[in-house]
Amino acid sequence: MTEPVTNALSIPPHDQQLPETGRTRHRRLREQGSLDRDVLDAILGAGFVCHLGVTVDGNLLVVPTVYGADSTTLYFHGSVASRSLVASPEATVCVTVTHVDGLVLARSVFEHSVNYRSAMVFGTPRLITDPDEKLAGLRCLTEQATPGQWDYARRPSRKELAATSLLALPLDEASVKIRTGAPDDGDSEDAQLGLWAGVLPLHTTWGELRPDPLLPPGIEAPAHLSQRAHTAMN
């Protein structure tokens, strides 16, 4: 099992725990829950795609979108979410990030499970309008997906910045769950069946860089991309 990568932006450790609310209280599998803010940061820092649960025109949508997170805020954008939240500024959303680490294959199908890390963040996002804050949020988002790319690529122009909707969600209310380890039926009656049981790990790695077909000859990939190829994602 590979260790989760950390956010490209340095996140200091937290002293406080996550508050337990009606939405974040672990009612099932409480042993898999965590109130550790550092665990939340590690889960958010290990990915860059989230699923945004939001109500649009009376319909519940779950929208996949790219995100970035620092020690206090989760930044994300998406035309559907932005349109909805501008119309309903008090709308509450749920943002979910999940990493699958392996299949837990037990002796019985009933005991099969998944090793995973997940976080659900609840709250009311704020539409960012200040240009400097928007640039900082977009840097956080870009560097989380591809560390080093913000300083390499062209920055957004004023026109592009004005056309970009970016939302900020505070990390004040979140539910964290993690499952690790072997199947739970090793000491059950099914252990006498003589069947193999264990974990099939899942590892995600970046592949070989594929240059744009229209790229002129002689332009080499920057080091931050070349060094990332074939490395573990999380």
**Confidence at residue 2, expressed as pLDDT on a 0 to 100 scale:** 36
**CB-based burial, 31-40: b 16+ in 10 Å, e otherwise:** eebbbbbebb
pLDDT band at 15 (very low <50, low <70, confident <90, very high): low
Contact 121, 169 (CB under 8 A): yes
pLDDT one-digit tens code per residue, 191-215: 999 999 999 999 999 999 999 999 9
| pLDDT at residue number 55 | 85
Q: Is the pLDDT of residue 10 over 50?
A: no
CATH number, domain 30-186+195-200: 2.30.110.10
CA distances from 122 to 43, 64, 145, 155 (A): 15, 16, 22, 31
**What pLDDT does residue 3 have?**
37
**Confidence at 77, pLDDT banded by 50, 70, 90:** confident
**Would you place residue 88 in the very low, low, confident or very high pLDDT band (cuts 50, 70, 90)?**
low
Q: What does DSSP assign to residue 190? A: G
pTM, entire model: 0.85
